[in-house]
Structure 1
């Protein structure tokens, strides 16, 4: 039996992953080469094959590294209620509000302070728009808990709708927030305010109200009920 390869020193591993993020963000998966990444990391290109299984393995590891860079507010939320359980509708309503707050907070707190941070955001943005077959399993692993949480909340809040309608509503809630985050630079240009949004609470409340009105949850707005 062939013994497993020795552990890669953390410093070298970190340099290779950061070099991969920078290179993949610039050139995409197909345009980036192992030798180029290794040279950027000041490491031997053989290490990529030896420790990551080649370019595919390094690409997946780079995406995992990006998704694990910070703790998720969404992951810390309590589980959605079961349909029909006592008080489920009110719990689901508060759960949807908490989810939108946590999702906005997660996205808006993504770092963009360094060249690697900016490249990481660009790489994820590209993958969201045009997922590469190599990245698909990682993207699904990352996104599935978000989607499943919203779908579970909708099954309580809108039990009258079929699964296709639940999916469309989930995509609408996620999409408006993702579009805002991915287009933030252009939105700031349009608004003429380089620091927009100055008050994150206002943005969170807007997305919450917009989503709940679109979902048709009248008890979320008792002051407007006849």
Structure 2
């Protein structure tokens, strides 16, 4: 019969996960040892093996914790529109607009207060996206596949003339501009001389939506240029 974890055991496990997120975000997987993480968590390093089976297990659990903790508006989107038939194109346009809004809300969710753990989680996910580790690839794909499929479905309806590779490039361009915005927010604030930018997230979302629709060549979806 398995023993149930005590409150003290749960607290130690939680401290190790949070310390791992902070430390992996700063130094990457290869630049960190379990002793350093345990020291930061004020725990015995042997507990990393006890709770997680080792450093790789702790890394996976840190990523899983980030996915479970963060907001995920994209996952709450309505089902992708059907490929053809009355209203399919209009539904795909609305689906794309909703996707951009949800993705931006997810990206900006951790910018609503000075929480070092949220900032570290964002930095760690940026590291992982740039160079996924073999041990975490399956978990990463499990999390992002629904997002990719929803966006690709909308794009397939709107641009049925494009190949799969071309549609993937379109999708990367749409999401890439938003990821760059979030990851470069510090320098954007310096350039603007405004540490609170963006006060109007709605305006930023409208810009990315309009920019994406213009790039896709969907003239009926955005206001025409004024003379």
Question: Scaled by the length of structure 2, what TM-score is found?
Answer: 0.90
Question: Scaled by the length of structure 1, what TM-score is found?
Answer: 0.91
The match for 1:134 is 135
The match for 2:5 is 7
Q: Given the alignment of the two structures, is residue 117 of structure 1 paired with residue 118 of structure 2, yes or no?
A: yes
The match for 2:30 is 30
Give how far 1:109 is off.
1.3
Output one character per residue of 1:1-24: Cα deviation in whole Å (capped at 9) or x when no partner: xx6575363211110101111121
SS in 2 for 1:193: coil
Tell whether the 8 Å contact from 2:21 to 2:121 is kept in structure 1 after alignment: yes
Q: Given the alignment of the two structures, is residue 194 of structure 1 paired with residue 192 of structure 2, yes or no?
A: no
Give how far 1:224 is off.
5.7
SS in 2 for 1:31: coil
In the alignment of these two chains, the number of paired residues is 223
Q: How does 1:1-226 map to 2 (within 5 A)?
A: 6-7=4-5, 9-111=9-111, 113-221=114-222, 223=224
Distance 2:187 2:4 in 1: 46
Distance 2:192 2:205 in 1: 18
5+ residue gaps, structure 2, are: none
Farther off after superposition, 111-120 or 71-80: 111-120
Tell whether the 8 Å contact from 2:19 to 2:41 is kept in structure 1 after alignment: yes
Q: Root-mean-square deviation (CA), in Å?
A: 1.9
Give how far 1:85 is off.
3.7
Distance 2:110 2:85 in 1: 36
Task: Please identify runs of 4+ aligned residues in structure 1 that moved more than 6 A.
Answer: none
5+ residue gaps, structure 1, are: none
Distance 1:70 1:27, change over 3 A: closer
Distance 1:81 1:5, change over 3 A: same
Tell whether the 8 Å contact from 1:5 to 1:50 is kept in structure 2 after alignment: no
Output one character per residue of 1:64-114: Cα deviation in whole Å (capped at 9) or x when no partner: 111221331111110111211431111111111111111111111125522
Tell whether the 8 Å contact from 1:24 to 1:32 is kept in structure 2 after alignment: yes
